[in-house]
Structure 1
Amino acid sequence: MEKRWALKEPQTYVPPTKRPDRKIIRWKAPPRDWTKLNFDSASKGNPGQSGIGAIIQDEQGNILHGLFGGIRVAMNNEVGIRALEAGLRLCIRQRLSRIIIEGDSQIIIDGIRQSSLHNWKLNKWVPMIKEHLRTIESYEIGHVYREGNQVVDYLANLGVGGNDDLI
């Protein structure tokens, strides 16, 4: 039997400074009279010990409120949706009425927008989150790249290995 080899097309290296598709990604402040909720999760394994983090910031970037905590063992997407739920509870407790919500999990953002996640374990959280959102006067929910979510990523990693108490 004859072996055949296929060669890949040669790739041209373009230095990072010359790549037109690259842009600086950073946290963007909310408009005046709005606050921003960023949420994130961290898992050491899937499933594994996990943590959640959430912060609320004003239009100047001042951190108004924040939380982090541990979750014993969970899958990474479950931890992410739990981080969103904890962040929303914090917004409601603080009586915030205009909130921009951002997370770096496209699966969770899309699932909340469509009112359905493609996992039955995650779907049980959707009605609770939708109920929280109904109590908020105005909100927007969207995806942010990891680079724009660094503070809550740090908080979520602090929560890994901790108990279920939120700090």
Structure 2
Amino acid sequence: MLGLINIFRCQKPVQSPVCGLIRYFHKEIIPVEWKKPSIGWTKLNFDGSCKSLTGKASIGGLVRNHNAEFLLGYAESIGEANSTVAELTALRRGLELARENGWNDLWLEGDAKTLLEIIEKGKKARCMEVERHISDIKSILPDFNKMMVSHIYREGNGAAHKFAQIGHDLDHPTIWRLIPPDELVTQLLQDAQGTIVLRMKEMKDKSY
């Protein structure tokens, strides 16, 4: 019995295979799916990317219609910035492009849940730079007729993430209209087909 107890302690630095197996089964499986907007709406997915070693950041995003057809994509390197600023810059750029193209009923979706809550619920940010970016975004929102905001896990935001990754290698801001880059074709097709991606999330212990 003592030997069994020692196995379940999972002491470091030696990790028992049993420990890894227990952690695996102690995870919640969440199905993640990108969903099309309703007829008359367009959907903007956005993402920011920051490389930890260099501090260089980039942004990306895309707009699709109710048939999941690709309307526009964008990517850009923005120099040194943290992940929060990158996410906000990606959102602001996407909003500017949506406004320019007259997409007035817009569904915003990203994987930065806290930032979306700040924008949707009007919460204040502690950082002055972040608050400035949020103010810029809020000044654009009244230009739209209807607006919807939602969070999606990274697994469902893959297309926007790929655009943000492309941004790292660009020398100037780039916009794609109607025809996406080749490396996005498979991802866009999977989204349009409603492909479900499974996310593994750590389950919290319940107290009884």
Q: Under TM normalisation by the shorter chain, which class is it?
A: 0.7 to 0.9
> Which moved further from structure 2: 107-116 or 29-38?
107-116
Q: Deviations over 1:127-148 (max 9, x none)?
A: 2111111000000111111011
- Whose helix fraction is larger, Structure 1's or Structure 2's? 2
Distance 1:166 1:48 in 2: 21
User: 1:14 and 1:160, CA in 2 relative to 1: closer, same or farther beyond 3 A?
Assistant: closer
Q: CA deviation at 1:118?
A: 2.6
Distance 1:80 1:124 in 2: 13
What SS class does the counterpart of residue 24 from structure 1 fall into?
Answer: strand
Paired residue for 1:138, among 131, 137, 146? 146
| Deviation (angstroms), 1:163 | 3.6
2:59 alignment partner AA? I
Change (3 A) 1:46 1:105: farther
Matches within 5 A, 1:40-51: 40-45=47-52, 48-51=55-58
- Contact 2:59–2:76 (Cα < 8 Å) also in 1: yes
Aligned with residue 162 of structure 1, among 162, 167, 170: 170
Amino acid in structure 2 at the alignment position of 1:127 = S
SS in structure 1 opposite 2:31? coil
Q: Deviations over 1:41-67 (max 9, x none)?
A: 111127711111110001111111110
User: Residue in 1 aligned with 2:66?
Assistant: 59
CA contact (8 A) 1:38 1:54 kept: yes
Report 1:26-105 matches (<5 A).
26-45=33-52, 48-105=55-112
Rg: which structure is higher?
2
Distance 1:46 1:120, change over 3 A: farther
Provide the C-alpha distance between the structure 1 equivalents of 2:56 and 2:23, rounded to a whole number of angstroms. 39
Identity %: 25
User: What is the distance in 2 between the residues matched to 1:152 and 1:15?
Assistant: 28
Q: RMSD of aligned C-alpha atoms?
A: 2.4
Partner of 1:13 in structure 2? 22
The residue number in structure 1 matching 2:156 is 148
1:11-40 C-alpha deviation (Å, 9 max, x unpaired): 773876xx7x42321211111211100000
Q: Where do 4+ consecutive residues of structure 1 move more than 6 Å?
A: 9-12
TM-score, length basis structure 1 = 0.85
Q: Which residue number corresponds to residue 112 of structure 1?
A: 119
Aligned residues: 159
Do 2:44 and 2:62's aligned partners in 1 also have CA atoms closer than 8 Å?
A: yes
| Inter-partner Cα distance in structure 2 for 1:87 and 1:107 | 18
Stretches of structure 2 that go unaligned for 5 or more consecutive residues are 1-7, 11-17, 176-208
Q: Deviations over 1:63-87 (max 9, x none)?
A: 1111011111111100110000000
- Separation of aligned partners in 2, 1:41 and 1:143: 14
